[in-house]
Structure 1
Amino acid sequence: MSHLALYTFGVLKSPLADPAPLPREFHDRAGAIYRKIGEHPGYLARAEAAEGERNTHFDSDWGAWGEFAVPAWYGKGRTPETLALAASLSLWTDLRPAFDAIFTGSHREALNRRYDWFERTGHPGYVFWWVPEGVVPTWQDGVSRLEHLHDHGSAPHAFTFPHSFAPDGTPAGANG
């Protein structure tokens, strides 16, 4: 049996440490959204820094999810004062539960506001791929798949909801 890996990446308009209302609003909503998605049927796990870690993404211990990585095109900061990114890495049972979790409720509301918080980079903001059951994808896997998606479009190796694939590589679609 396979599981669906999902890597998301966005470049924020302002660093997370910026006290301005929009970065604060984004930061304040993120925790509640992650908790809600974590309760969704079909959700299996997500990369989380080791308990109590207060470092940047780059300095945190992510355990089996590996060392934190970002796409080559990310050119903003890497310190607590300059970090301007949002990234997630998660595992799902299938496309339908992931679709439902992402496009309903509080996450859908956040998606409707994404251009208030995120730059339009010309790069995809997420990528899916299948992993064998028991395999934990790494941050570097996510970066590689996102860059592949950007360079080559959707394929069984790296895909999006509208152009998705089943674990055997056949086209699936978000409803399939």
Structure 2
Amino acid sequence: MPHLALYTFGVLKSPLTDPAPATQEFYDIGGAVYPEISRQPGYLAHAEAADGARGVLFEADWGAWGEFTVPAWYDKGRTAQTTALATTLSLWTGLRPAFDAVYTGLHREALNRRYDWFERSAHPKHAFWWVSDGVIPTWRDGVARLEHLHEHGPAPHAFTFRHAFAPDGTPAIDC
């Protein structure tokens, strides 16, 4: 049975190492959101660096999730001191479980505050695609799907909650 891959990407207003209260709030909420999401029905896994040091994304060992990369439009720093982005890569059993996890609980509360932390952008913030059972998507896959979504709009190759597709490529109706 196929699994649903989800890549999210946002550009932060300030670097991850910024000592400002807003950055600390972002970390505090994020620290609570991840454990809650990992307990959601339908959650399978998410990319985690072997060394979870704050702001270390580009140099981290991501194991089977591959080398860390970002969309072409990201034009801020790439060092631990200058990186200003937040991104996730995860696997789900389907659209409904992912939707429920994103739009309920602590994550919903964080979404309500996203513009406190993130820059507004015309680029998509997330992309979904289906992968075969046993396949672990890579950061490169996520970036390619998000860029494809930006350039071509929703399609079975890369889609959103609002314009979702089933594993067979037909429009989905359950979200």
Fold shared, TM-score > 0.5 on shorter chain: yes
Residue 161 of structure 1 contacts residue 173 of structure 1 at CA under 8 Å; is this kept in 2?
A: no
Match of 1:138 in 2: 138
Secondary structure of residue in 1 paired with 2:58:
helix
Q: Separation in 1 of the partners of 2:160 and 2:32? A: 25
Secondary structure of residue in 2 paired with 1:172:
coil
Aligned-pair identity (%): 71
Match of 1:36 in 2: 36
Pair 12,96 (structure 1): closer, same or farther in 2 beyond 3 Å: same
Match of 1:118 in 2: 118
Tell me how far 1:154 sits from its aligned partner: 0.3
Tell me how far 1:174 sits from its aligned partner: 4.4
Residue 162 of structure 1 contacts residue 174 of structure 1 at CA under 8 Å; is this kept in 2?
A: no
Equivalences for 1:1-176 in 2 at 5 Å? 1-50=1-50, 52-54=51-53, 56-175=56-175
> RMSD value over aligned CA atoms?
1.0
Secondary structure of residue in 2 paired with 1:37:
helix
Aligned length: 174
For residues 74-103 of structure 1, give each alpha carbon's deviation from its aligned partner in whole angstroms, at most 9, with x where no partner exists: 000111111100000000000000000000
Tell me how far 1:44 sits from its aligned partner: 0.2
Structure 2 residue identity aligned to 1:140:
R
Tell me how far 1:32 sits from its aligned partner: 1.1
Where does the alignment leave 5 or more consecutive residues of structure 2 unmatched? none
For residues 130-170 of structure 1, give each alpha carbon's deviation from its aligned partner in whole angstroms, at most 9, with x where no partner exists: 00000000000000000000000000000000100000000
The runs of at least 4 aligned residues of structure 1 exceeding 4 Å deviation read none
